[in-house]
Amino acid sequence: MAPTKEEESKLKEFQDESPFKLGLAEKFLKVVLDIPFAFKRVDAMLYIAKFDSELEYLKKSFETLEVYIF
């Protein structure tokens, strides 16, 4: 789950000298936000990983429709 725009801007503005320390999850997100298009890249990897199973599901669905239509 990607951070909201507000959370993203707060993390980017966060200074390490701040008396308030970040938790592990926030530290991770702060580092990830420095990677260009990080969340879009993750979405693309998930799409690629699921593609074959989604394609098989759609093929079976269309085969079922063809049986009932013709």
Residue pLDDT, tens place only, 13-48: 887 776 578 888 888 998 899 999 999 999 999 999
Q: Would the pLDDT of 6 be above 70?
A: yes
User: Rounded distance, CA 47 to CA 52, Å?
Assistant: 9
Torsion angle of the four alpha carbons 31, 34, 38, 40, in this order, in degrees rounded to the nearest 10:
140
Number of domains in the chain: 2
Domain check: are 21 and 49 in the same one?
no
Give me the domain span that covers residue 19: 1-34
Domain check: are 30 and 1 in the same one?
yes
Domain check: are 24 and 3 in the same one?
yes
User: Rounded distance, CA 44 to CA 32, Å?
Assistant: 16
User: Rounded distance, CA 25 to CA 21, Å?
Assistant: 12
- CA distance readout (Å), 46 to 12, 30, 42, 61: 26, 22, 6, 22
Domain check: are 40 and 63 in the same one?
yes
Domain check: are 22 and 45 in the same one?
no
- How much is the pLDDT for 19? 58
Domain check: are 26 and 4 in the same one?
yes
